[in-house]
Structure 1
Amino acid sequence: MSLKVSNSSENNPMLPVSDPGRTHDDGDKLFKGSAMTKRGAYAAVSYMSCAVLLVMFNKAALSSYNFPSANVITLLQMVCSCCFLYVLRRWRIISFSAGEKSLISDNSTKFVPLNTLKHTLPLSGAYLLYMLVTMESVRGVNVPMYTTLRRTTVVFTMIVEFLLVQQRYSSSVIFSVGLIVFGALIAGVRDFSFDAYGYSVVFLANFTTAIYLATISRIGKTSGLNSFGLMWCNGVVCGPFLLVWTFIRGDLKMTLNFPYLFSPGFIVVLLFSCILAFFLNYCIFLNTTLNSAVTQTICGNLKDLFTIGLGWVIFGGLPFDFWNIIGQLLGFTGSGLYAYYKLMGK
């Protein structure tokens, strides 16, 4: 995809952004009768690819290198994200507002109006909580069981969406979600590395994820910002709070004393973690606004097949037995059914 700036007034920003106000005709559909658009399908696949790789690199930093602070990794990811967005916006490769032309002249450093920034505060708060809890949840549970427990996020998401916007779902969707949860319970019943604290943090991560996705779905369509603009607001608001938090907790001091801080391998892991976090956040916004919060959660379940396989091979930690395999298959079957119902518009 070319990033060359064009003078045509009909061109959209060079990188794809969410467009909450756009209506889709049949030509935009993935295929005739589908409830998902082509852009929505691309966003879903991109999210799954980035998510698998990011979990691997985060797990490598926290477990393989025993890095002491997940919060510092989150802070680095946020700082890198803001730097990427600033440079891309200054070069006019992207815009922050939905429908804004890429050639708009803006020589100020204030990319988002103050009133718009205030409007996105609930989203920023949900994002900060989501990031902190999710990063901590990776540490306490092995990768296969982490992905298994995270699969129950869809239930939390459906509950939050019902409470916020009275969203209701068809019996087909409810059945597929029930199959996912049942599979997760079957897979987890024989986890010999049970850790009460680790499990509790993962379920808390599920809850914060549900709130975050539901908030994206609401604010993302009313703020007038596209995916990049929402990411910028999150970074500007949450960055200072996270910096103060890591200082108070002593995480910055622990980081400076970390023996592998300047190890080439560890630096490469951190670099890829930050780059992938940027693309993952973008894909989350894009997928949630183009599709839905529940679809975003189901995409997380579908990518777990690759995450579990890679996590088991690279990091180990879970003795796969008959019931675990059955549970995993039930969960993937439920995710596949949901994807089918979404594509067919049921």
Structure 2
Amino acid sequence: MMPSSDRMSLPVSDPSPQQRGGAAAGEQRLFKGSTMTSRGAYAAVSYMSCAVMLVLFNKAALSSYSFPSANVITLFQMICSCSFLYILRRWKIISFTSGDTSSSSITDNSTSTRFLSLQTLIQTSPLALTYLLYMLATMESVRGVNVPMYTTLRRTTVVFTMFVEFILIGQKYSRSVIGSVGLIVFGAFVAGSRDLSFDAYGYSIVFLSNITTAIYLATISRIGKSSGLNSFGLMWCNGILCGPVLLFWTLIRGDLRMTMDFPYLFAPGFMIVLLLSCMLAFLLNYSIFLNTTLNSAVTQTICGNLKDLFTISLGWMFFGGLPFDLLNVMGQLLGFIGSGLYAYFKLFGK
């Protein structure tokens, strides 16, 4: 039998308090004076990569294949996520609690508690509620707005996030950060000023998605650091609590019946799109928890703005929508410059 040190283990969310004051604050910093660690940078890049691909696959399922229910896709994603977590936990590849990064800790923990206690589930229930609202609003917002305008309107999320963080944890920001955020929002309005496909319902859903995203990220930052759970543990709680609620909601709305009547349900192309969407949703949720706990809710939102360059380019290439014009290009550039300035302040500690 192999020794426990040779077992596989995956990275968990936030480091222990000792690590925060030691290695995480010293040699793991990206640059001298930087406020971001190398692990935080890894989480940010992972999130941006997954987010770009997931938006495109969700758009393909809902628009290209005209799948009738975003809620069912969310349910499939949640079921796959819980299944992945269950298998990885049973095989002792991952742990659900912070600090159990070593294989021996995972083994010892698995013999004392099977998964998580009822008290822990109750403690994380506010996070699960905000997660459910965030997922439903985000999935629905992709349908009614073209990809370029979707990413443009979503950039205003950072303002909602800063406001919610100030309300919940009293977070304050420097003038440099506020200025860079203001540039992002101004660029978003400039870029969207000539959208000829205006849809009041679609725009309203996107702004509702912005609000739920801000509340969700701020809740991760607050509960994720006080519950003792890592990213996998928080994802497990979300799935266990939200899955039955979402299943009941799809039943009473008739979404499951519409899904069974969907003509392309077993088409190979659609099944591949749906499978990749579920896998990317799992990776995206993990990277969101990791990025938010290691960095901050605002940094998570800014990363969403930085990855928009690739989302917009690929969205125009595959789905079309918003036409190119000088005003739109100027607005996009202003938004990217603002996001870049924030990233500079974060990386170099200005």
Shorter-chain TM band: over 0.9
Matched, 1:88 2:83: no
Q: Is the 8 A contact 2:224 2:230 kept in 1?
A: yes
Aligned to 2:75: 75
Point out the structure with the larger helix share: 2
Partner Cα distance (2:163, 2:250) in 1? 32
Aligned to 2:39: 39
Q: Deviations over 1:262-293 (max 9, x none)?
A: 00000000000000000000000000000000
In structure 2, the residue corresponding to 1:28 is in which secondary structure?
coil
Aligned to 2:266: 262
Deviation at 1:26, TM superposition (A): 1.7
Q: Is the 8 A contact 1:5 1:93 kept in 2?
A: no
Pairs aligned (count): 341
Partner Cα distance (1:108, 1:180) in 2? 49
Unaligned runs of 5+ in 1: none
Q: Is the 8 A contact 2:7 2:93 kept in 1?
A: no
Matched, 1:14 2:9: yes
Q: Is the 8 A contact 1:160 1:214 kept in 2?
A: yes
Deviation at 1:308, TM superposition (A): 0.1
Instruction: Give the alignment of 1:240-251 within 5 angstroms.
Output: 240-251=244-255
Q: Deviations over 1:163-208 (max 9, x none)?
A: 1111000000000000000000000000001101000000000000
Q: Deviations over 1:205-227 (max 9, x none)?
A: 00000000000000000000000
Instruction: Give the alignment of 1:142-291 within 5 angstroms.
Output: 142-291=146-295
Q: Deviations over 1:79-118 (max 9, x none)?
A: 0000000000000000001112222253688401111111
Q: Deviations over 1:51-74 (max 9, x none)?
A: 000000000000000000000000
Deviation at 1:128, TM superposition (A): 0.3
Residue type of the alignment partner of 1:327: G
Partner Cα distance (1:178, 1:323) in 2? 18
Q: Is the 8 A contact 1:12 1:99 kept in 2?
A: no
Residue type of the alignment partner of 1:73: I
Moved more, 249-258 or 30-39: 30-39
Q: Is the 8 A contact 2:31 2:348 kept in 1?
A: no
Partner Cα distance (1:51, 1:245) in 2? 26
Q: Structure 1 length normalisation: TM-score?
A: 0.96
Partner Cα distance (1:181, 1:327) in 2? 9
Partner Cα distance (2:304, 2:270) in 1? 26
Residue type of the alignment partner of 1:70: A
In structure 1, the residue corresponding to 2:34 is in which secondary structure?
coil
Partner Cα distance (2:118, 2:201) in 1? 40
In structure 2, the residue corresponding to 1:106 is in which secondary structure?
helix
Instruction: Give the alignment of 1:288-303 within 5 angstroms.
Output: 288-303=292-307
Residue type of the alignment partner of 1:271: L
Q: Is the 8 A contact 1:220 1:226 kept in 2?
A: yes
**Change beyond 3 A, Cα 1:288–1:13:** farther
Aligned to 1:314: 318
Of all paired residues, the percent bearing the same amino acid is 74
Q: Is the 8 A contact 1:5 1:14 kept in 2?
A: no
Partner Cα distance (1:117, 1:96) in 2? 12
Unaligned runs of 5+ in 2: none
Q: Deviations over 1:284-338 (max 9, x none)?
A: 0000000000000000000000000000010001111110000000000000000
**Change beyond 3 A, Cα 1:152–1:105:** closer
Deviation at 1:7, TM superposition (A): 1.9
Q: Is the 8 A contact 2:48 2:307 kept in 1?
A: yes
Deviation at 1:25, TM superposition (A): 2.7
Matched, 1:27 2:27: yes
Partner Cα distance (1:34, 1:106) in 2? 37
In structure 1, the residue corresponding to 2:93 is in which secondary structure?
coil
Moved more, 210-219 or 100-109: 100-109
In structure 2, the residue corresponding to 1:44 is in which secondary structure?
helix
